[in-house]
Amino acid sequence: MSGGLSVHGGRLAEARSRFGGAREDWLDLSTGINPVAWSGGATADIDWRSLPDPGDLARLERQAARYFGVDPALCCAVPGSETGLRLIARILGGRGLHLPLAYSTHADAFEHADPVASLAQLPAAPGTLVIANPNNPDGVLRATEALLNLLERQESGSGWLIVDEAFADCRPEHSIAGHVASGRRLIVLRSFGKFFGLAGVRLGFVVAPTELLGQLRRRLGEWPVSAAALAFGTEAYGDAGWIAATRRTLPEQASRLDAVLKRHGLAPRGECPLFRLVETSEAGALFIRLAQRHILIRPFADHSRLLRFGLPNGDAALGRLDAALAHG
């Protein structure tokens, strides 16, 4: 029903070409990116001219590892967690396994991938199971214990478990990253751009056993991320005040989005405060009605009853969504 708009969020240019309006007219709720970006970027000192120094890369990885609660030797910066997953999938080889409702790259990263009907009945043949926690787009949050059980199941069959924690920053107590270790078949992906609201930087991290990180580094080379990624990431991951405040305010904002959605008969789902999923038989029509009012949300090509709403930035944006739903 909506072309590329139902493949990935953030495609405002395509939305504009279909529904008109200038860039600044649109309220883009099609992604799960924090609308209140980390503000240190405006004053960060970026050295665009030199090749990034290996010492600066090591410093970024130490800072990020401290934030994730992992050994820095297990933490490798990548130009976006999406690229990181694609590279890891090819290094591991073999078949990918993913949830039926999952981020599309969980399937596309592998040469061959299949959805699993149920985590209780994984196929016997070994494969790499990819699960996002919290999951995108339904926001389901799994307990560490359940994931560790899946890990044991995968290890007993010579498979791997990849936990995509791209949206985990608000719930650090649910991260499984501290369980990554040499000899275990667990890999964790982290994203910089979503929680810090700077998706254009292209920065993510792969937390994995050192043998695997060696292969990943060899594919990426000496300078895997830009000077901006080094500058922003190193400073932002150390900005404890901003991080704590954002972990408080995002759930408050999400509760207010929930109230608006419920007022209009929609039942929001999910435990990630950066987005909410709703299911409605009116999904296709609602997407178009909001787009005609220049509000972009996220439909799903393979799930025609689902819509994902990103978090609006403040009262004015939330009020605009409220009004559009009322008149829709």
Site residues (CB under 8 A) for its own copies?
4, 8-14, 28, 31, 33, 37, 41, 46-56, 79-80, 82-83, 86-87, 90, 105, 108-109, 193, 197-202, 218-229, 232
Residue closer to its own copies, measured from CB, 108 or 114 = 108
Nearest alpha carbon to residue 272 among 132, 119, 130: 132
- Which residues are CB-contacts of 168 (< 8 A; sequence separation ≥ 6)? 133, 134, 174, 175, 190
Token digits for 200?
């254009």
Q: Which is nearer to its own copies, 152 or 302 (CB)?
A: 302
**Residue 18 or 262 having the CB closest to its own copies:** 18
Question: Toward its own copies, which CB reaches closer, 219 or 305?
Answer: 219
Q: What's the CA gap between 154 and 116, in Å, rounded? A: 13
Query: CB-based burial of residue 230 (10 Å sphere; 0-12 exposed, 13-18 middle, 19+ buried)?
Result: buried
Can you tell me the distance from the alpha carbon of 105 to that of 9, in angstroms, rounded to the nearest whole number? 13
Residue 305 DSSP SS3: coil
Tell me if 134 sits within 8 A of 270, measured CB to CB.
yes
- Judged by CB, which is closer to its own copies: 34, or 175? 34
Contact 283, 1 (CB under 8 A): no
Token pair listed for 252 = 């408050």
Nearer to its own copies (CB atom), residue 83 or residue 292: 83
Whether the bond into 54 is cis, omega within 30 of 0: no
- Nearer to its own copies (CB atom), residue 35 or residue 154: 35
Residues 6 or more apart from 324 whose CB is under 8 A from it? 289, 290, 293, 295
- Please say which residue, 33 or 278, places its beta carbon nearer to its own copies: 33
Are 274 and 294 in contact by the 8 Å Cβ rule? The answer is no
Whichever of 47 and 152 has its CB closer to its own copies, that residue is: 47
φ/ψ (deg, to 5) at 131: -130, 130
Residue 155 tokens read as 């290890």
Q: Tell me the closest approach of the beta carbon of residue 114 to its own copies, in angstroms.
A: 17
Q: Are 188 and 172 in contact (CB under 8 A)?
A: no
- Give CA–CA dist 215/201, Å, rounded: 24
Is residue 279 classed as helix, strand or coil in its secondary structure?
strand
